[in-house]
Structure 1
Amino acid sequence: MLPRIIFCVAVVLATLTVVLLALISPAARRNHSSKIPSMALSLYIQQPQIVSSDTQSSVAQISGAGAFVFHHTLTEGPEITSRSVGKAQGFIVPIEQFAHSAFNIIYLTFETPDYSGSLSVQANDVAHKENEELTVVGGTGSFAFARGHAIFSNTQRQTYHVNLRLKFPNRSHSIPG
């Protein structure tokens, strides 16, 4: 009988020790979200410049279906002469039946000395408001595993201002920017 009591007391003490260590451990009090590297970028999507009526636009609307296919330039500033940093491409079907389609993605591709890669921005539930907050669902290259938000704002210069707020949960090193 005494060995059984000693065994039960030992189990209770061991369990109590584990619980207390978990509660008072410095690791339990750390804010893990502050360790996730983040990045903020501000870019502009330029509308294509159509020179003559013979030139095809880089925005195509598929008649009947109402789909938009586009291929625009990403720049550092709002002017068309600003330094190009990449491309914005996409295929958007703004019809209610396709609102949650996997096709409704905007791809932002970067080609700069600092960044090389792409971001995928989910374009579901676009309400055609002055400011649209969309979700960044992934990336490649410099933006691998990126998650976050992309706020698209229509400017008066026929461009879109894009504010990106990104987090990189699967990276342990810091990211410039």
Structure 2
Amino acid sequence: MLCRIIYCTAVLLATASVILLALFSPLPHRKAHKTPQLALSFYIQQPQVGGSSMHPAPPKPGAWIFHRMLTEGPENTSRVVGKAQGFIIPVESFAYSAFNIIYLTFHTHQYSGSISIEAKNFGHKETEELAVVGGTGSFSFARGLAVFAETNRQTPNLDATYLIKLHLKFPNRSQTIPG
């Protein structure tokens, strides 16, 4: 009988300790592996020489090669934060070419580096959504979306000022690459 009482007490104490440990033990510390995100807005300005655009519209079968300034605001007198350069071939057979890339390069106290934007499906719509396919410097390994919107529709597309909204995601930089 004494043996049975000891056994029941031991089982009761073991059960009570498991329940108490489950209720009062600290939770494991799990780091939330959130992908860092960044949203930026800038403007692509058209160069002005003598009151007119420096680059006339390209011929239909030609390529559009451009070099423009990036500014903080829509006015061409806004602070310059970088440049936009690109090479786009609008011809049907080359519309999906790997050459159709827009590079945004930033030189500010906060950001230094570049972003590569794939312009395969670049048309002449009021708003374009293009894929961000990489970056350097402050934007290393960036992925995401670049939304281009014309700010003044009165003039042809090449003379327009574009608002660029960048929605960037960065990989978890705390992980190491095996090798």
**Matches of 1:110 and 1:87 in 2, distance apart?**
7
What is the SS of the residue equivalent to 1:97? helix
Change (3 A) 1:170 1:96: farther
**Match runs of 1:1-177 below 5 Å:** 32=33, 35-51=34-50, 57-58=54-55, 61=58, 63=59, 65-156=61-152, 158-172=160-174
SS at match of 2:49: coil
CA distance in 2, matches of 1:128, 1:64: 13
What's the TM-score once normalised by structure 2's chain length?
0.71
**CA shift in 2, pair 1:59/1:164, >3 Å:** farther
Question: How big is the shift at 1:52?
Answer: 6.8
Q: Is the 1:60–1:70 contact (alpha carbons within 8 Å) kept by the matching residues of 2?
A: no
**Matched-pair contact (CA < 8 Å) for 1:37–1:172:** no
Whole-Å separation in 1 of the counterparts to 2:69 and 2:62: 23
Give RMSD over aligned pairs. 2.6
Deviations along 1:99-125, whole A, 9 cap, x unmatched? 111110000000101111000000011
Task: Give the CA deviation at 1:92.
Answer: 0.4
Given residue 57 of structure 1, which amino acid in structure 2 is its aligned partner?
M
Percent pairwise identity: 63
How many equivalent residue pairs? Answer: 142
CA shift, 1:57, in A, is: 2.5
CA distance in structure 2 between the aligned counterparts of 1:84 and 1:69, rounded to whole angstroms: 20
Counterparts of 2:83 and 2:123, CA distance in 1: 23
User: Which has the larger Rg?
Assistant: 2
Specify the code of the residue in structure 1 equivalent to 2:38.
Answer: M
